[in-house]
């Protein structure tokens, strides 16, 4: 769920609500800067900013913000004793900015822009007074970003949020396993594209909203969606021949993650054929086969959990 869009929809529907954002972290904390939680009249709706008493305090502040129409900045110190009692990471400090949602055209326009942006900068004043804009959006190139997703300016007057789209996951194969992987990846916050050359399988009605579905072969797919280093590819088609055709194109592509469903024996068979066809051994070595973490997964849903867990590790920079 896109929390920006949900916030815009909430304020249009009810005229109220609040948005809590982890604006800055220092040390070890349970959530990174930029994490958001949407709060309605009766409490948390979407997201989490850490759980335990931290979240309880934030929800209280969000309800107050809705009533007063004023934002607040909360600071929580997670010492070892408190963190241990709550099961949270210890030793860190987290600043959380809580703002009321305003049924104001300029304010809602920023929420809409952030919801649909490929990349951009959202700047929110930490004190709302006078005629200065409370919230602004500036579209920016992806290359302009570095550092945390959110931070407070040095003078503390603004919270700045750097927006980048979630990584794309291309799932080749819309059978039972591919469908389960696509659903799980979308639930984990990835942008998912499912590709199958069989129109009856590549049917958008089989997938939740938000998952793109394309009935096409691999050549058409990559003409439509050129791969970048921020993309992941999971190959889960109906047979070795189809897998090999796709892997031949993907192995040498810029994609940051390439995974192939199947056994180690399948890897040996497929890679042997591709080496003979001239695909560099170095390109094939980076392919993850079997794709997913080794958790003994058997069912499509279990396999999906193992694959998406590995995708999350890749996204977060884990080896």
CA-wise closest residue to 17 among 134, 108, 135, 105: 108
CB of 274 closer than 8 Å to CB of 246: no
For 276-280, which contacts have Cβ atoms below 8 Å and span 24 or more sequence positions?
Answer: 277/248, 279/248, 279/251, 279/252, 280/251, 280/252
* Residues 70-79: tens digit of each pLDDT: 999 999 887 6
Which parts of the chain fold into alpha helices (H)?
3-14, 52-68, 80-86, 105-116, 176-187, 218-224, 240-250, 264-276, 281-285, 300-315
Mean pLDDT on 120-144: 83
Where residue 271 falls among pLDDT bands split at 50, 70, 90?
confident
Q: What is the pLDDT of residue 1?
A: 62
pLDDT of residue 205: 95
Q: Which pLDDT value is given to residue 148?
A: 76
In which band, very low, low, confident or very high, does the pLDDT at 100 lie, cut at 50, 70 and 90?
very high
Whether the pLDDT of residue 272 is over 90: the answer is no
Please give the pLDDT value at position 216: 95
Q: With 90 as the cut, is the pLDDT of residue 276 above it?
A: no
Q: What is the pLDDT of residue 153?
A: 94
In this prediction, residues 14-32 reach a mean pLDDT of: 88
Domains (ranges, CATH) in the chain? 3-163 (no CATH), 168-315 (3.40.50.720)
Confidence of residue 81 (pLDDT cuts 50, 70, 90): very low
pLDDT at 84: 47
Q: Which residue has the tokens 């909203």?
A: 209
Q: Tell me what pLDDT residue 131 has.
A: 67
The answer to whether the CB of 54 falls within 8 A of the CB of 76 is yes
Question: Which among 262, 224, 227 is positioned nearest to 243, based on CA atoms?
Answer: 262
Rounded distance, CA 319 to CA 193, Å?
A: 24
pLDDT exceeds cutoff 90 at 80: no
pLDDT band at 130 (very low <50, low <70, confident <90, very high): confident
What mean pLDDT is reported for the chain? 88
- Report the range of poorest mean pLDDT among 125-129, 267-271, 307-311: 267-271
Q: What is the pLDDT of residue 85?
A: 46
Query: What's the pLDDT at 79?
Result: 61
| 184-218: pLDDT as tens digits | 999 998 999 999 999 999 999 999 988 999 999 99
Measure the CA–CA gap between 240 and 83, rounded to whole angstroms: 49
Q: pTM to 2 decimals?
A: 0.72
SS3 for 18-86, per residue? EEEEEEEEECCCCCCCCCEEEEECCEEEEECCCCHHHHHHHHHHHHHHHHHCCCEEEEEEECHHHHHHH
pLDDT for residue 58 is more than 70: yes
Could you tell me which residue, 288 or 83, shows the higher pLDDT? 288
Q: What is the per-residue pLDDT across 252-264, written as a single tens digit (0 to 9) for each? A: 999 999 999 988 7
Task: Please state, in angstroms and rounded to a whole number, the distance separating the CA atoms of residues 274 and 214.
Answer: 26
């Amino acid at each position: 769920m896109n929390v920006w869009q949900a916030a815009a929809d909430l304020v249009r529907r009810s005229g109220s609500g609040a948005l809590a954002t982890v604006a800055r972290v220092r040390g070890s904390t349970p959530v990174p800067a930029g994490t958001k939680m949407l709060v309605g009249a009766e409490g948390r709706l979407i997201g989490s900013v850490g759980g335990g008493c931290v979240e309880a305090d934030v929800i209280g502040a969000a309800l107050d913000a809705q009533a007063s129409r004023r934002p607040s900045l909360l600071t929580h110190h997670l010492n070892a004793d408190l963190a241990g009692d709550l099961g949270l990471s210890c030793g860190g400090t987290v600043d959380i900015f809580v703002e009321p949602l305003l049924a104001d055209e300029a304010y809602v326009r920023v929420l809409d822009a952030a919801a649909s942006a490929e990349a951009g900068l959202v700047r929110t004043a930490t004190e709302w007074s006078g005629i200065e804009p409370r919230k602004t959006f500036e579209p920016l190139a992806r290359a302009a970003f570095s550092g945390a997703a959110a931070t407070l300016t040095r003078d503390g007057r603004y919270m700045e949020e750097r927006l980048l789209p979630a990584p794309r996951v291309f799932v080749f194969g819309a059978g039972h396993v591919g469908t389960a992987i696509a659903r799980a990846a979308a639930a984990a916050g990835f942008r998912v594209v499912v590709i199958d050359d069989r129109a009856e399988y590549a049917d958008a009605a089989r997938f939740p909203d938000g998952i793109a579905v394309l009935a096409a072969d691999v050549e058409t797919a990559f003409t439509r969606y050129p791969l970048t280093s921020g993309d992941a590819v999971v190959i889960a088609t109906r047979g070795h021949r189809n897998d090999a055709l796709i892997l031949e194109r993907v192995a040498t592509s810029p994609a940051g993650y390439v995974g192939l469903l199947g056994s180690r024996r399948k890897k040996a068979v497929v890679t042997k054929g591709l080496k003979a066809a001239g695909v560099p051994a170095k390109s094939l070595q980076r392919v993850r086969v079997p794709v997913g973490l080794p958790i003994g997964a058997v069912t499509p849903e279990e396999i999906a959990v193992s694959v998406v867990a590995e995708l999350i590790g890749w996204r977060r920079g884990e080896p």
